[in-house]
A and B are shown apart, each in its own frame.
Chain A
């Protein structure tokens, strides 16, 4: 019940050991392109024209990624000229990340010789910081230091029968060991919210779960759209899922059986250990960065596949600093994308493994990756842009 991790000064434990360069921009991109061992993020939104609430959410995402235990130290550069909102100022982001005890350096083109000067200084700093980080050794720590986030996607009926239950087994095991586990996708508990709310640790948490669903369902109704033309998405329907309710009832199996300790917003850090529901949106370019900002040191994508084509390459970079594992229970998906998939639980459907045996194998896979074995997606450079979950209008 242990893995090999990097112990940080605030007591959290990383499964990786990166130097993070934020936010997006030519300075961060140039530093990351030049220096090994760094991570940056891609976004299409810098906060310009965003409301104060949404700017704070962007800040929460950036600060959270900086504080993630997989990050050894951080470089923050002053963002593009013109985006001077107080929430997003480099000094503010740097101060809040530094509160975790990490080294944080700030680059400011205004005082560092312009964009060119900031890039040169950033490269020099990043090289030193990466080298310093490399001196840290992994040590054996308990599973209570694992913090997981999950999404199920391209769901088909294998997801509800075997894939999500395998995640559920893993989640129960990590939570029982004192660790932290997050699930979410509010749209995709519509029709299953009573079953989820029954598992809340307190009546207040149950209320918060039902409230989160009511808000999303009201928005769906107000849209005037037939939800069946939106969600389940075409690949779900192709995979045998007939309604949003059926999708939801299969989806909640990934949450296991532990009590739900709280409801979190996007990129919000849990107050303690245990299982949490996150009021977030299903998009994989959105959800995983949010989990990583909340402190996840490893994330999982449970894939249905619903008829993916042969020789499919699955990429997975939207978790930025958290290793990203692909799992599936669909034998066709596994056959089509074997070199991308970290864990297969279709054995349960085929009858060659019990759900418990598959769950134990999943746990061992997670421990190996947490301890340094690369997730398949980590063998690629390819990086996807992050679609931050912002809900207010732009002006």
Chain B
């Protein structure tokens, strides 16, 4: 079975975006200039959702488009789905500001 496709937006990114429905256990190919990065999805990655390209420890920055899109709120395994359950945005967080004030 051919590998499923995901896209990386910048060479320094640690996540890629699935452009097909990916099932757990399937191989994922990510086209990069001159070669293709492959890894195994350890769980389902729906169309448009992100897959971790490497292990991301809790608190580490998650990068897409070569920029920070948040940090890991729990440890993320290579090949795992990255979404709101394990990624938290850090900007404009009124809830955090409130805690600082308290």
Chain A residues packing against B (C-beta within 8 Å): 156-158, 160-161, 187, 190-192, 195, 216-217, 220-228, 237, 239-240, 242-246, 249-250, 306, 330, 332, 349
A-B contact pairs, 6 of them (CB 8 A): A157-B49, A226-B93, A228-B93, A237-B84, A243-B91, A245-B70
Contact B94 A161 (CB under 8 A): no
Q: Give the complex CA separation of A242 and B68 in angstroms.
A: 12
Q: Known pairs A237-B84, A242-B84, A245-B69. 10 more at Cβ < 8 A?
A: A161-B9, A161-B19, A191-B67, A239-B48, A242-B70, A242-B87, A243-B84, A243-B89, A246-B64, A349-B7
Contact B19 A349 (CB under 8 A): yes
Total contacts A-B at CB 8 Å: 104
Contact B70 A246 (CB under 8 A): yes
Contact A220 B67 (CB under 8 A): no
Closest beta carbon of chain A to B51's beta carbon, Å:
11
Contacts A160-B9, A191-B89, A242-B83 given; does A225 touch B94 at CB 8 Å: yes
Contact B48 A158 (CB under 8 A): yes
Contact A223 B94 (CB under 8 A): yes
Contact B94 A227 (CB under 8 A): yes
A161 proximity list for chain B (CB < 8 A): 7, 9, 17, 19
B7 proximity list for chain A (CB < 8 A): 161, 349
Q: Give the complex CA separation of A33 and B28 in angstroms.
A: 57
Give the residue name and chain of the A residue nearest to B84 (CB). A242
Q: Interface 1/0s, chain B 60-102, versus A by CB < 8 A?
A: 0000110111100000000000111001111111111110000
The 9 residue pairs across chains A and B that have the minimum distance between CB atoms: A243-B89, A240-B48, A246-B69, A226-B95, A220-B92, A221-B97, A157-B48, A243-B70, A240-B49
Contact B95 A242 (CB under 8 A): no
Contacts A157-B48, A224-B98 given; does A244 touch B91 at CB 8 Å: yes
Number of interface residues of B (CB under 8 A): 30
A249 proximity list for chain B (CB < 8 A): 64-65, 67, 69
Chain B residues packing against A (C-beta within 8 Å): 7, 9, 17, 19, 46-50, 64-65, 67-70, 82-84, 87-98
Q: Give the complex CA separation of A249 and B63 in angstroms.
A: 11
Contact B89 A242 (CB under 8 A): yes
Q: Give the complex CA separation of A222 and B49 in angstroms.
A: 31
Q: Which of B49, B67, B82, B98 has the most CB of A within 10 A?
A: B67
Q: Give the complex CA separation of A224 and B92 in angstroms.
A: 10
Closest beta carbon of chain B to A88's beta carbon, Å:
34
Q: Give the complex CA separation of A161 and B48 in angstroms.
A: 9
Q: Give the complex CA separation of A226 and B70 in angstroms.
A: 14
Contacts A156-B48, A191-B68, A224-B98 given; does A244 touch B84 at CB 8 Å: no
B65 proximity list for chain A (CB < 8 A): 160, 249-250
Give the residue name and chain of the A residue nearest to B17 (CB). A157
Contact B70 A224 (CB under 8 A): no
Contact B83 A221 (CB under 8 A): no
Q: Give the complex CA separation of A222 and B68 in angstroms.
A: 23
Contact B88 A228 (CB under 8 A): yes
Q: Give the complex CA separation of A225 and B48 in angstroms.
A: 27
Contact A191 B91 (CB under 8 A): yes
Contact A242 B97 (CB under 8 A): no
Contacts A161-B9, A242-B50, A245-B70 given; does A217 touch B92 at CB 8 Å: yes
Contact A221 B94 (CB under 8 A): yes
Contact A220 B89 (CB under 8 A): no
Give the residue name and chain of the A residue nearest to B87 (CB). A242
A250 proximity list for chain B (CB < 8 A): 65
Q: Give the complex CA separation of A228 and B7 in angstroms.
A: 25
Q: Give the complex CA separation of A156 and B18 in angstroms.
A: 12
A224 proximity list for chain B (CB < 8 A): 94-95, 97-98
Give the residue name and chain of the B residue nearest to A229 (CB). B95
B96 proximity list for chain A (CB < 8 A): 221
Q: Give the contacting residue for B69; candidates A191, A195, A223, A225; CB below 8 A.
A: A191
Contacts A160-B9, A245-B67 given; does A217 touch B91 at CB 8 Å: yes
